[in-house]
Amino acid sequence: MKVRSLLVALCLAPLALAAQDSVIPLLKSLTAAPGPSGFEEPVAKIMVAQMRPLAQSLRFDGLGSVIAQQGTSGPRVMVDAHMDELGGMIRRIRPDGYMSMQMLGGWLDQALPGQRWVIIGSHGPVPAVTTIWDVHITPPAERGRVIPREAIFLDVGARNAADVARLGIAKGDPVAPDSPFEVLANGRYVAKAWDDRIGCAVMIEMMKRLAAAASHPNQIYYAATVQEEIGERGATTSAEIIKPDIGFALEVGIAGDVPGTDRENAQERLGGGPGLFLWDPSELPNRKLVAFVEQVAKEAGIPFQLDMVQGYGDDSSVIQKSNGGVPTLNIVIPTRYTHAHNGMIDRADFDHTVDLMVALMQKLDGPTVAKLRRFGE
């Protein structure tokens, strides 16, 4: 009985810790919300409910991005995180009731078969699975082949197209991954949609901390943007409204601490602190801003990692090109298994990212931003 009691206690320990931690419910609600590109309303409702009590003002751009403001004087600082996740739309409903998907965002074909999904139809959410061939009937020569997305279909248990219609599903309905939030060992969390609900959560925790602080010398515009995964669209329209003097994108980083990965293509590891992107194909950061962030992190004793990732793009690329040119930096939370159903983060990286962003907002001021924006000196 003692052994059994010990096992039960060990299993319940993460749940007990979660019950005492207000961040856990926030992360759970944000990652659980379905929000593929163009269908971010469930996420936006959470963000508005969290941000409105902490902001001097709150508004939207014409695409649905949420813009909350703290502070009414000083440099205009844009802090960005996108609400959308990878997903799909119903493309075609076959006579036999199977459905094809138009994928939204950068999916790997090997991440698609045999997964659970939710379709947001007119009658509410409908659970679904993607097809995968049974090993017993797959020819040996085909067992190691990646199934192309064109050969993968959604199955809701329908016998025909009429069954699908009765469920309230039609062409164009959004499809989101279905994967629950879980607390794992060593402060690691697994969930879908860390890209970029983790950035959204950092923004909310920043707002809580700075709302409780005596003051900060900036106008901070928190932009929870839409449609990043299909072309950084919400960041473009939000930046047009904000007209920032300086900008930060909060994103997922790409952890290279997974067996078989090439550490030259991603150098971050879980638990190593927030990552600062020195390069990706979409953006080169302002070097003086990078040095400033490194200095603030070192002074505050916050660990950080430097990285350069190929095959990556983010909202900082369009913020950088707004308002005549803006110093920007992409600050990321290292994440394993992005763009799939089950991503993993380390809680310490999240907490350190919040600490870093709060410290940056308190250190930035008019003269500092002006210096970062001067060149040739």
- The SS3 call for residue 123 is coil
One of 40, 85, 205, 228 is an active-site residue; which one? Answer: 228
- The SS3 call for residue 356 is helix
Exposed e or buried b per residue across 165-177, where buried means at least 16 C-beta atoms within 10 angstroms of its C-beta = eebebeeebbbbb
- In one-letter notation, the amino acid at residue 276 is L
In this structure, what token pair is assigned to residue 122?
Answer: 């007119």
Residues 20-23: contacts with CB within 8 Å, 24+ apart?
23/201, 23/205, 23/347, 23/350
Sign, Cα dihedral of 353, 356, 357, 358? positive
- In one-letter notation, the amino acid at residue 361 is M
End-to-end CA distance of the chain: 73
Question: Which residue is listed with tokens 């959560």?
Answer: 201
Question: Which residue is listed with tokens 């990212």?
Answer: 353
Furthest-apart CA atoms within the chain: distance in Å? 73
CB 326 within 8 A of CB 247: yes
In this structure, what token pair is assigned to residue 59?
Answer: 């508004």
Is residue 205 annotated as a catalytic residue, yes or no?
Answer: no
CB 91 within 8 A of CB 99: yes
CB-side exposure of 88: number of CA atoms within 13 Å?
A: 28
In this structure, what token pair is assigned to residue 131?
Answer: 């097809």
CB 31 within 8 A of CB 24: no
Which residues have C-beta within 8 Å of that of residue 239, sequence separation ≥ 6? 78, 223, 247, 318, 319, 322, 323, 326
Four-CA torsion 285, 289, 292, 298, nearest 10 degrees:
-20
Whole-angstrom distance, CA of residue 112 vs CA of residue 129: 10
Catalytic residues, by residue number, are 228
